[in-house]
Amino acid sequence: MDNDILAGLNESQRAAVTTTEGYIRVIAGAGTGKTRALTHRYAYLVREYGIAPSNILCITFTNKAANEMKRRIKGMLGEEFDTSFVATLHAFCTRILREEITKLFYPDNFIVLDNLDQKRILEEVYDEMGIKMDTASFKFMIDQIRYYKNLITYVEYLSDPDFDYSALTSEKPSDEIIFRYIKKQRKYFGLDFFDLINFVIYLFRRYPDVLEKWQQRLCYIMVDEFQDITAKEFKLIRRLSEYNRNLFVVGDPDQNIYEWRGANMSVIVDFEGWLNNPCFEHQYGLRAKDIFLEENYRSSEPVLAAANALISHNRNRVEKTLYTKKPGGARVVCLHAKNDKEEIGYICREIRNHVAAGGKYADFAVLYRSGYVSRFVESGFLAENIPYTVYGGVGFYERAEIKDVLSYMRLVDRPDDDLSFKRICNVPRRKLGKAKLAALTLYAEEHKLSLYESLRALCETEQFRASGAKQFVSVMDALRAQRETLSVSELLQAILAQTGYELYIRESGDIERLDNTTELLRSIVTQEAEFGEHLSLSAFLQQMTLLRDSDAEDTCDRVKIMTIHTSKGLEFDRVFLVGMTEGIFPSARSLEERRHEALEEERRLCFVAMTRARHRLYLTESEGFGVKGFSKVPSRFIEDFVRDTDPAFLDCVGTVPHDLREEQALQAKHFDREDGEIFHVGDQLRHKGFGEGIVERVDEKTRTYFIRFVNGVRPISFDYPGIAHIF
């Protein structure tokens, strides 16, 4: 036995490394050294059993993870070892297809299409069909193509050189775009990421000898992040393991945060059941061995106590408890603030105090559920000159939709702002492209006018008549006439509605962009309240310019701010989990779409965020105006772990008022309401505004409840969110 490979491993890790044969499921909690177990197992198979690396497949889910595993393996075995089969599933499928795809009448030098390639093909299709394309419609169509390609049958005609593509017909324009896209794929011999797995599955089904060759080659198969696997991916991996029956999977059901994009939780939770799924033709009655990695090497005892208490509320999981042999550590802080300003003020003071004591800004990470929550964090950091970087994303004020609406506001304030005009004159599309903009620029230079004034002069000429120029000028002039009478927040709402920008975002299907404009509106309402007198449009825009221009000097020592999804796989000394408000986290939209499944996934997401912290964890929330017209109340997730965690591990700062406690219960009941539930005559309800009442009549035709309250009967819409049963 090679003591170098097994040295430093705990008992569970050692079991994972040395248990080499059969079907093995390793449930590896956050920070328990799963990558260490995987890489040492790989080295153990090579060094102790003499298995060639070309006979070991190790699947990871990101290129970054694959490269890190290769680095560690070569550190143990030597640089000369070939680790090319340590790869993402897409990279491995590409490897198979390079060897086998000629059987499907594709050349072995086929092109793997990236995002830009896909866009270029779609641009060709749109040009042929006379359709104008923008970023939003591109994203929408890629999603539609992905849904279509979930049906593997399309591979049949892509791999048939004699297929008649004219046979693909549909009355839906989106289907016609998809068919043309696929036809062009074939013409260029290109496969996008959706195709790689589908082509391999089809290849194995059509050519059993090819499947058998790869089954025999891969003596040992290991899969990392198994909780994120899709049913289709498992089907492929399970098939590859049928000959040698050595499949080793590592994952944590409590860290599955990608169900919304296809990850199937039941594959890891019911691993043995999936191994014996009737969809597989052979080898029923397979047994699997379980190994648990629960000793955490990352987080302090208070952090683990809170995280364990939170996740214990989920039902769909494999039970385990994270622990550390290093007791002690700072208490987990739960902050309830009176408003956003107080919340970010507390965060800034904690960071300042740490830095003053000799620490670094880079010791901190600020995590949030949705991108728009970063607005108040960025604003606070800019105002306090705290250096930060948006990790894996774009800063709030740098997002395209925020720049767009601020450009509209600037043009309302100053019609001579040519930069703002150029940005938004054709957003949404108004047939004011490069040629017309060039003509406007020439006219403006000749007549010493702004571009907007030039458009007003030319909008009814023959060159501009077929465009949306006249309507654009009319809307902008009307908005300018209202700027003295409307508040800034009212003006923003008018801009979104009258220019068509809000409809443009809604039609794009990108809900996050809509959330960002809503957050900007909310921040303006807050500023107006704090300003104490009429906040003029010019003063607001000047404030925005100063805010964005006050960015701290460039330095590597910065606070990292990011979404929780971006933080997966990372760890930080000190973590602020902000915006812990019901409806924001858990997300109201997710709960409405997927109910209980979404609630458990949201809780797993919170668990992931909490376990990013090594030494100190803060969870913060504040009062104010929340989602769907509700008041902001603390997230139920705070209640989940506060109730079940040893008080010695917690430090609760601020007091939640009694009325917010009642509101919190009301909101939780609303968001938990089952799809299609309607109230009935005699049901006792609590209304957000009217208090307690009883249902006297239900009119399903008009979708109205008639509810008797203390002050009389009121008609309440089925769709109103602020009512719930009294239990």
What 3-state DSSP class applies to 491? helix
**What pLDDT does 675 receive?**
44
Structure-token pair, residue 23:
């079907």
Q: Write down the pLDDT at residue 550.
A: 43
pLDDT at 398 over 50: yes
pLDDT at 303 over 90: yes
For position 215, what pLDDT does the model report?
A: 95
Looking at residue 134, its pLDDT comes to 61
The whole-number pLDDT of residue 602 equals: 94
- In angstroms, the CA 183 to CA 165 distance is 7
Distance between CA atoms of residues 168 and 521, nearest Å? 46
CA atoms within 13 A on the CB side of 268: 30
Please state, in angstroms and as integers, the Cα–Cα distance from residue 323 to each residue in 133, 255, 268, 318, 568, following that order. Answer: 53, 16, 22, 16, 20
Query: Model confidence over 227-258: pLDDT tens digits?
Result: 999 888 998 999 999 999 999 999 999 999 88
- Length of the chain measured in residues: 727
Terminal CA-to-CA distance of the chain, rounded, Å?
63
What is the structure's pLDDT at 1?
A: 41
What percent of the chain stands above pLDDT 90?
A: 34
With cut-offs at 50, 70 and 90, classify the pLDDT of residue 553.
very low
Weakest mean pLDDT among 53-67, 123-137, 203-217: 123-137
Q: What mean pLDDT is predicted for residues 70-89?
A: 87
What is the Cα–Cα distance from 476 to 460, expressed in whole angstroms? 16
Confidence band, pLDDT 50/70/90 cuts, at residue 67: confident
- Of 708 and 613, which is predicted with more confidence? 613
Specify the DSSP class assigned to residue 699: E
- The catalytic residues are 34-35, 224-225, 255, 612
Which pLDDT band, with edges at 50, 70 and 90, does 670 fall under?
Answer: low
Q: Give the number of other Cβ atoms within 10 Å of residue 41's Cβ.
A: 25
Alpha carbon distance 589, 511 (integer Å): 10
Tell me the three state secondary structure of residue 313. coil
The one-character DSSP state at 485 is T
DSSP-H helix ranges across 241-362: 265-269, 271-275, 301-311, 340-356
Average model confidence (pLDDT) across the chain: 85
pLDDT tens digit sequence for 101-113: 999 998 888 888 8
Residue 585, CA distances (Å) to 101, 251, 304, 518 in order: 46, 24, 20, 17
Higher pLDDT, 327 or 348: 348
Tell whether the model's pLDDT for residue 590 goes beyond 70.
Answer: yes
Who contacts 493 (Cβ-Cβ below 8 Å, separation ≥6)? 521
Burial of 464 (0-12, 13-18, 19+ CB in 10 A): buried
- Residue 655 sits at φ, ψ, to 5 deg, of -115, 130
Residues 463 and 443: their CA atoms lie apart, in Å, by 13
Peptide bond into 428 cis (omega under 30): yes
The fraction of the chain above a pLDDT of 70, given in percent, is 91
**Helix segments in 626-726, DSSP class H:** 636-644, 658-672
Is the pLDDT higher at 665 or at 671?
665
Which string of DSSP letters, residue by residue, matches 194-239?
HHHHHHHHHHHHH-HHHHHHHHHH-SEEEESSGGG--HHHHHHHHH
Count how many Cα atoms sit within 13 Å of the Cα of residue 648 in the half-sphere of its side chain: 4
Higher pLDDT among residues 149 and 604, named by residue: 604
Other CB atoms closer than 10 Å to residue 261's CB: what's the count? 9
* Residue 671, pLDDT score: 58
C-alpha 463/C-alpha 429 separation (Å) is: 16
Residue 200 one-letter amino acid: V
What's CA 289's distance to the chain center, in Å?
33
- According to DSSP, the residues that pair with 247 across neighbouring strands are 23, 221
Average pLDDT over residues 577-596: 85
Alpha carbons 31 and 252: distance in angstroms, whole number? 11
Kindly compute the dihedral angle of the four CA atoms of residues 448, 451, 453, 457, in this order, to the nearest 10 degrees: 90
Closest to 663 in 3D by CA, of 592, 718, 723? 723
Going by the DSSP 8-state scheme, the letter that residue 625 receives in this structure is B
- How many CB atoms neighbour CB 553 within 10 A? 6
C-alpha 193/C-alpha 198 separation (Å) is 9
pLDDT band at 366 (very low <50, low <70, confident <90, very high): very high
pLDDT at 673: 54
pLDDT at 327: 84
Q: Which of 269, 271, 281 is nearest to 242 (CA)?
A: 281
Question: How big is the chain by its Cα radius of gyration, in Å?
Answer: 29
**pLDDT band, very low/low/confident/very high, at 551 (cuts 50, 70, 90):** very low
pLDDT surpasses 50 at 633? yes
- pLDDT per position as a tens digit, 634-648: 999 998 899 889 999
Token pair belonging to 92: 């491995």
Residue of 337, 364, 429, 276 whose CA lies nearest to 559 = 364
| Type of residue numbered 385 | N
Over the stretch 679-713, which tens digit does the pLDDT of each residue have? 778 777 888 778 888 888 887 666 688 888 877 88
| Residue indicated by tokens 């990558």 | 35
Q: How far apart are CA 501 and CA 517, in angstroms?
A: 10
Kindly tell me if the per-residue pLDDT of 549 is higher than 50. Answer: no
Closest CA to 275 of 266, 287, 289, 291: 287
| Cβ-based neighbours of 694, under 8 Å, separated by 6 or more | 682, 683, 684, 685, 707, 708
Mean pLDDT throughout 57-77?
A: 88
428 confidence band (pLDDT: 50, 70, 90): confident
pLDDT at position 627: 61
Residue reference for tokens 């290129």? 63
pLDDT of residue 500 exceeding 50, the answer is yes
In the structure, what pLDDT confidence band is assigned to residue 122 with cuts at 50, 70 and 90?
A: confident
Please enumerate in sequence order all residues whose Cβ is within 8 A of that of 621, keeping only pairs 6 or more positions apart, or say none.
Answer: 335, 336, 337, 343, 578, 579, 580, 581, 632, 634, 635, 638
Which residues on neighbouring strands pair with residue 715, listed in sequence order? 706
Q: Encoding tokens for residue 596?
A: 């209980």
Determine the Cα–Cα distance for residues 246 and 249; give it in Å rounded to an integer: 10
**pLDDT(552) > 50:** no
- Residue 321 · residue 605 · CB < 8 Å: no
Name 451's Cβ contacts closer than 8 Å, sequence gap at least 6.
418, 421, 422, 425, 437, 440, 441, 444
Separation between Cα atoms, residue 424 and residue 441, nearest integer Å: 15
Q: Which has the higher per-residue pLDDT, 612 or 683?
A: 612
Q: Render the burial of 410-438: b for 16+ CB within 10 Å, e for the rest.
A: bbbbbbebbebbebbbbbbebebeeebbe
Q: What pLDDT band is residue 620 in, cutting at 50, 70 and 90?
A: very high
DSSP 581: B
What local confidence, expressed as pLDDT, does residue 157 receive?
81
HSE (side-chain half, CA atoms, 13 Å) at 327: 1
Could you give the CA distance from residue 347 to residue 618 in angstroms, rounded to a whole number?
A: 9
Rounded Cα distance, 541 and 21, in Å: 66
The identity of residue 537, as a single letter, is L
